[in-house]
Structure 1
């Protein structure tokens, strides 16, 4: 068990989406960190291991630190000296670490796309998702059937991305584990900004200190507070 606490502000929504898995807040986390994070959310060992591997296979190379040329006059000598650094920045990390500093340009290429190119959350597309697919009278929650309709609507993405989207929705549903049979707006938004992960980890592991998450994340405290008292399946 690891004590999960929010990272200091400012953070983009996409960084908050993954901050939970970086407990020491050094902006670099390994597959083991992610495995422990999923275990603290009550994932079985096998599914936590598979989820961690898939996340890092998808994001590790895309977030590699890229070579940045120093501000100096360009000469043949400086160019030759920079070649090893340029090459190194394209070699995959054998440890599959994810670098949060470079996550800003990595967006979920799904439709609807919830993050813009800067890694910020698109609230309008989030609301449109519920308007289009929610079967609730107030359009404020998603049932399992609604989630399946969202997934089926993404068949045009291609086989691998379509499967990837299905796995992401399965992960969100399993993480929240709504006993009511519906995932609310607050719960889904909490998955996107990461705030619900701290609350669920506290509920499922008895951690101390993660209750300050709601005030440090995008989701307002008055919206997230009911989640603390809701029943969550083990």
Structure 2
């Protein structure tokens, strides 16, 4: 198999056995490793499983998911919904220019290096596609999870931190820091272990 795309690496965190199939239980366990101490994460686990394992069955893509709610990582490019940040191209590759555009156009920070929760809501509103009713919900859920995990005490998510979520490289670092007892607001997904 060729090199995995950024989107495949992002989803690959939730595939602990490396078989390129993500089951609902894999998603549940993966989310638990990112924040196992709060009530929100229990709700988040259910939300993640609902969005990523149930809702995608309504998209008319043949052989994308089975009736057992499996997600095949090799087909994940078909799961990019209409209302997204455009940081992934149609093949699942990370597009840095579009990622930078998120901050240049939607960040209210003077340095354009972070996003507040309101910046994110405005971005999703501005990027939503006409007649796409599910996409804004999926985008908001994804960004709320990232915001919940990564926002610092100032209520902002740093650009460098969010980038590690897009390419999947930050999940392992976040999980390691949570295992070592670090709490939300103290996590730095750019740390290497």
Task: Label 1:62 to 1:159 Cα distance change in 2 as closer, same or farther (>3 A).
Answer: closer
Aligned partner (choices 45, 65, 71) of residue 42 of structure 2 = 45
C-alpha deviation, 1:111, in angstroms = 4.7
Q: Aligned pair in 2 of structure 1 residues 37, 112: CA closer, same or farther (>3 Å)?
A: closer
CA RMSD in angstroms comes to: 2.9
- With over 3 angstroms needed to count, the CA separation of the structure-2 counterparts of 1:108 and 1:35, relative to structure 1, is same
TM-score (norm 2): 0.80
| 1:129 alignment partner, one of 83, 96, 102 | 102
- 2:23 touches 2:70 (CA, 8 Å); kept in 1? yes
Partner residue, 2:138: 164
Task: Answer whether contact 1:133 1:150 (CA < 8 A) is retained.
Answer: yes
TM-score of the two chains, using structure 1 as the length reference: 0.67
Structure-1 separation of matches of 2:134 and 2:73: 24
Q: How does 1:92-103 map to 2 (within 5 A)?
A: 93-103=66-76
Kindly indicate whether the alpha-carbon contact (under 8 Å) linking 1:130 and 1:141 is maintained by their aligned counterparts in 2.
Answer: yes
Matched-pair contact (CA < 8 Å) for 1:63–1:103: no
Name the structure 2 match of 1:15.
8
The alignment covers a number of residue pairs equal to 181
* Residue correspondence of structure 1 range 1-234 to structure 2 within 5 A: 10-42=3-35, 44-59=41-56, 89=63, 93-157=66-130, 158-206=132-180, 224-225=190-191
Query: What is the CA–CA distance in structure 1 between the aligned matches of 2:93 and 2:141, rounded to whole Å?
Result: 22
Per the TM alignment, residue 169 of structure 1 is displaced from its structure 2 partner at its CA by 1.5
CA distance in 2, matches of 1:156, 1:165: 12
Residue 10 of structure 1 deviates from its aligned partner by 2.2
Deviation by residue 1:3-62 (Cα, 9 ceiling, x = unmatched): xxxxx9821011011011001111012000000111111153232122222111244687
